Amino acid sequence: MKTKKQRADYINCRLEALYPDVTIPLRHGDEYTLLVAVILSAQCTDKRVNEVTPALFAAADTPEKMVKLGQEKIRKLIETCGLANMKSKAIFETSKQLISKHKSRVPQTLKELEALPGVGHKTASVIMAQAFGIPAFPVDTHIHRLAQRWKLTNGKNVVQTEKDLKMLFPTERWNRLHIQLILYGREHCTARGCDGTKCQICRALFPSRIHPVKTRK
């Protein structure tokens, strides 16, 4: 498959066949609890987040309850996620800002989401896609790695990778595809388990490739 478009079309069809039913792995009840869960997921596995959030959301599942709970109690409830000080502050300050600026509702634009404490572009994109169904293409380390191994981007940075992927795949596929890519990157084309020559998609796209692919972080 010589062109990026040919590779993208194959990947699109293959991932849809592999993962026909996809949902975001983070357990949540609404837009607010999803936002909190995504903040917690930074440098932490989804499994760990899902172990922590039931107790946290039982104590506070709205911005008002979270502010009333207080930063220190939030920290104690999430400490096994790692970066507890930073994340508890982000959750607390974001909850305050949702109350003061957004009538306790999670905003539906990238600009407003990215203005919240502890919410970067990737987190904002996840909320846009998974909470509101607005097309977005959040790029995490798995997607960034796969896009380089499959020569869909030059891997300069995640910003460039996102831009390149958006050009290659249909807009209506972005929200499902980014989850499918993450799942494939975790299960098959892993950082250590595949070097660009071993998983089924790598072999299908580049059958004559013999040298490992070095990926940029």
Check the CA dihedral 131-137-141-145 and report its sign.
Answer: positive
The residues annotated with a catalytic role in the active site are 122, 140
How many other CB atoms are found less than 10 A from the CB of residue 172? 9
Instruction: Say if CB 28 and CB 37 are below 8 A apart.
Output: yes
